[in-house]
């Protein structure tokens, strides 16, 4: 069987699956239960000056019958005393010496505050520090979280303050709420960061109650901007992880953002993550999902003939490039399997109203039959994505016998581009 253990910036973990800093890591008791169930590491809920959290903290975004495809929250850092958190962290590390215990810390941009909190936190025996430069709500008003992560110079400076006093690896958690996360990633590296963590939550409004006109979650009839997470943000997180992996920062990455299954985790690892952190799916289904994560990833590595997680890390990155590098001579068209088609008409409507009018519908032997006019099909994939029958509509290669030609080649006047007709 493949070896799931990882060494992340000098921190050993029995597997790459960590709990992210959030409600699932609020207490030592929770983290010990999670370790007993098989989680490899945990990032403690962010330590700072204890605050008073509001009541009514979460708002869910449903997608059809799927509950909580996205989750907005306005909960802040720990509301328990630092002394209690430190005591529990020491006990967890004493009982589970081979598991990764990471302390998340956050303070305003004042050197004495950071140095004091870091020194006190290091006394717990934690394996590493995670600097929370990402929280987009509540904490920025106090000069913390995204108020730091949105300013590369500030992120670099505070990272350097922590590195001066830390004897354990320093991980920097980045915010996605920036124009280009690569700038902050490189700034954290220049400040001495040992690894990067991303993404934190995305600034959001959790929805609006149409009867009371109050955004959600409602706190006595009012609300605030919130942090959005869960499966709905996975594509954004995947891009930002890949962006940092290709940015030249050259640091290990712990990926976060909508990870629910081993398949999700494998995608993050393929795009450059060494470990992955999980939050929303644990809040939805509990710590028990670790069985699927470990078994699924182990079986996948075995299937691919890869000995460990490191061998999988970053394999997809060479296949990401600029749009102008893509092959304009590559062409696919939709193909409908008439044996499995149920005649729902979804593809016809979608293509007619939102595509390129390449699907024809006609009565055939007492039923509506849909067929593809390949001369009009541009290979957009829409019909295959909305079809309710798995593999009923597939995309078939109809590329001409021409060498690859990119937009850069077109501008340079090189080669020949196949004529593409889409009916417009």
pLDDT of residue 423: 42
Indicate if the pLDDT at residue 10 is higher than 50. yes
What the block records as the tokens of 422 is 């889409």
Query: Domains along the chain?
Result: 6-319 (3.20.20.70), 323-412 (3.30.70.20)
Q: Where are the alpha helices (DSSP H) in 271-345?
A: 280-285, 290-303, 309-312
Cα–Cα distance for residue pair 20/258, rounded to 1 Å: 11
CB 45 within 8 A of CB 78: yes
**pLDDT tens digits, 205-228:** 999 999 999 999 999 999 999 999
Cα–Cα distance for residue pair 417/153, rounded to 1 Å: 46
Active site residue: 126, 135, 279, 383, which one? 135
**pLDDT tens digits, 373-403:** 999 999 999 999 999 999 999 999 999 999 9
- Give the percent of the chain with pLDDT over 70: 99
pLDDT of residue 366: 77
Predicted TM-score of the model (pTM): 0.95
**pLDDT tens digits, 145-169:** 999 999 999 999 999 999 999 999 9
**pLDDT tens digits, 104-124:** 999 999 999 999 999 999 999
Question: Which of the four pLDDT bands, split at 50, 70 and 90, describes residue 332?
Answer: very high
- Bridge partners of 71, per DSSP, are 60, 229
Is 341 one of the catalytic residues? no
Question: Which of the four pLDDT bands, split at 50, 70 and 90, describes residue 368?
Answer: confident
Cα–Cα distance for residue pair 216/224, rounded to 1 Å: 8
Q: Specify whether the backbone of 166 is left (phi greater than 0), alpha (psi in -120 to 50) or beta.
A: beta
* Summary mean pLDDT of the chain: 96
CB 372 within 8 A of CB 410: no
**pLDDT tens digits, 191-201:** 999 999 999 99
Question: Which of the four pLDDT bands, split at 50, 70 and 90, describes residue 420?
Answer: low
């Amino acid at each position: 069987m493949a070896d799931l253990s990882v060494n992340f910036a000098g921190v050993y973990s029995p597997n790459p699956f960590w709990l992210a800093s959030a409600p699932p890591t609020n207490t030592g008791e929770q983290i010990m239960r999670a370790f007993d169930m098989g989680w490899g590491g945990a990032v403690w809920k962010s330590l700072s000056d204890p605050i008073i959290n509001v009541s009514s903290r979460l708002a869910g975004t449903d997608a059809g019958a799927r509950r909580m495809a996205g989750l907005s929250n306005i909960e802040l850092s720990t509301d328990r005393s630092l002394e209690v958190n430190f005591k529990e962290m020491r006990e967890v590390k004493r009982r589970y010496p081979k598991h990764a215990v990471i302390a998340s810390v956050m303070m305003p941009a004042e050197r004495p505050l950071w140095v004091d909190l870091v020194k006190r936190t290091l006394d717990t025996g934690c394996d590493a520090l995670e600097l929370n430069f990402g929280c987009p709500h509540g904490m920025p008003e106090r000069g913390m979280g995204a108020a730091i992560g949105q300013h590369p110079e500030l992120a670099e400076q505070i990272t350097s303050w922590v590195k001066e006093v830390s004897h354990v690896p320093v991980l920097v958690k980045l915010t996605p709420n920036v124009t280009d996360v690569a700038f902050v990633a490189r700034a954290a590296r220049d400040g001495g960061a040992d690894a990067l963590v991303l993404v934190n939550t995305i600034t959001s409004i959790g929805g609006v109650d149409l009867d009371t006109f109050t955004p959600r979650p409602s706190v006595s009839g009012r609300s605030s901007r919130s942090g959005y997470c869960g499966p709905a943000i996975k594509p954004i997180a995947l891009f930002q992880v890949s962006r940092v992996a290709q940015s030249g920062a050259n640091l290990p990455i712990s990926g976060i953002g909508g990870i629910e299954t081993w398949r999700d985790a494998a995608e993050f690892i393929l795009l450059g993550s060494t470990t992955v952190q999980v939050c929303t799916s644990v809040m939805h289904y509990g710590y028990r999902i670790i069985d699927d994560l470990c078994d699924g990833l182990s079986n996948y590595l075995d299937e691919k003939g890869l000995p460990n997680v490191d061998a999988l890390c970053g394999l997809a990155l060479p296949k990401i490039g600029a749009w102008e590098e893509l092959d304009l001579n590559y062409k696919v068209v939709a193909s409908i399997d008439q044996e499995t088609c149920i005649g729902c008409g979804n593809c016809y409507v979608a293509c007619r109203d939102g595509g390129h009018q390449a699907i024809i519908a006609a009565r055939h032997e007492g039923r509506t039959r849909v067929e593809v006019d390949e001369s009009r099909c541009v290979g957009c994939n829409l019909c295959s994505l909305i079809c309710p029958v798995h593999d009923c509509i597939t995309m078939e290669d109809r590329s001409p016998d021409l060498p690859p030609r990119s937009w850069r080649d077109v501008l340079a006047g090189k080669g020949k581009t196949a004529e593409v007709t889409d009916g417009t």
